[in-house]
């Protein structure tokens, strides 16, 4: 288990991952604490950076943003300078919701969300492929999400959290 959290902390994190809108009183009740110690634990985990932020998940489908693509990007010359330039550039591309530097035959894996195939095609041609840094792009269109979660597997750091 992480040196910074105990089983109660892990239970608190589990509850927050399930519903970030829960009140401190609700979280405290679910983990068997009173509100004040629960609030102190949450505050401490925020200060330690364990809790980075709390966000609201939006329905991509209901917003008309349900076209998702995983894109493997290979740079023409994958040196430190070009990798940093690419990483900086993608921060200005709202369609790119995730970017990972990876090992193997490609340099980056992107997760891209758009309205439809035509919007993705425009993004691909006008934004991604127009970058002189990029030498190859391989797209994998998502047919359906079999699992989509932001929850971390807290059961791996504490037996106090359910594994399913």
Q: Which CATH number belongs to the domain containing residue 115 in this structure? A: 3.30.70.920
Residue 129 shares a structural domain with residue 73? yes
- The Cα–Cα gap between 134 and 115 comes to 24
Shared-domain flag, residues 71 and 136: yes
Confidence of residue 158 (pLDDT cuts 50, 70, 90): confident
| 3-state secondary structure (DSSP) of residue 113 | strand
For the chain, the C-alpha Rg in angstroms (whole number) is 20
Cβ-Cβ contacts under 8 Å for 101 (sequence gap 6 or more): 83, 87, 107, 108
Q: What is the mean pLDDT of residues 17-42?
A: 96
CATH number at residue 47: 1.10.10.10
Q: Could you give the number of structural domains in the chain?
A: 2
Read off the pTM: 0.86
pLDDT band at 10 (very low <50, low <70, confident <90, very high): very high
Grade residue 88 by pLDDT with cuts at 50, 70 and 90.
Answer: very high
Beta bridge partners of 134: 75
Asked if residue 82 and residue 52 are part of one domain, the reply reads no
74 and 133 inside one domain: yes
Q: Closest by alpha carbon to 97, among 150, 18, 154?
A: 150
Query: Which residue range(s) make up the domain with 15?
Result: 7-56
The answer as to whether 162 is a domain residue is no
Strand order in the sheet with 134-141: 96-101, 108-114, 67-75, 134-141
Q: Are residues 80 and 131 in the same domain?
A: yes
- Structural domain contains residue 29: yes
Are 76 and 27 in a shared domain?
no
Q: What is the mean pLDDT of the chain?
A: 94
pLDDT above 70 (res 7): yes
Question: Both 77 and 34 in a single domain?
Answer: no
Does residue 50 sit in the same domain as residue 83? no
Model pLDDT for residues 116-152, shown as the tens digit of each residue: 999 999 999 999 999 999 999 999 999 999 999 888 9
Residue 157, in any domain of the structure = no
Angstrom distance (rounded) from CA 140 to CA 142? 6
DSSP code at position 156 = G
Domain boundary among 37, 56, 75: 56
Q: Do 16 and 42 have their domain in common?
A: yes
Q: Is the pLDDT of residue 49 over 60?
A: yes
- Residue 81 buriedness (CB in 10 A; 0-12 / 13-18 / 19+): exposed
């Amino acid at each position: 288990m992480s040196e910074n959290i105990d089983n109660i902390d892990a239970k608190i994190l589990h509850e927050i991952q399930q519903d970030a809108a829960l009140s401190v009183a609700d979280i405290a009740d679910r983990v068997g604490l009173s509100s004040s110690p629960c609030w102190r634990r949450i505050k401490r985990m925020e200060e330690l950076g364990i809790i980075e932020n709390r966000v609201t998940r939006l329905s991509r489908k209901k917003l008309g943003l349900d076209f998702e693509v995983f894109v493997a990007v290979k740079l023409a010359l994958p040196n430190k300078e070009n990798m940093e330039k690419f990483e900086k550039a993608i921060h200005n591309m709202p369609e790119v919701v995730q970017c990972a530097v990876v090992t193997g035959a490609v340099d980056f894996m992107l997760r891209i969300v758009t309205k439809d195939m035509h919007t993705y095609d425009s993004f691909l041609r006008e934004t991604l492929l127009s970058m002189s840094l990029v030498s190859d792009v391989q797209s994998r269109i998502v047919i359906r999400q079999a699992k989509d979660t932001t929850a971390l597997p807290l059961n791996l750091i504490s037996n106090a959290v359910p594994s399913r």
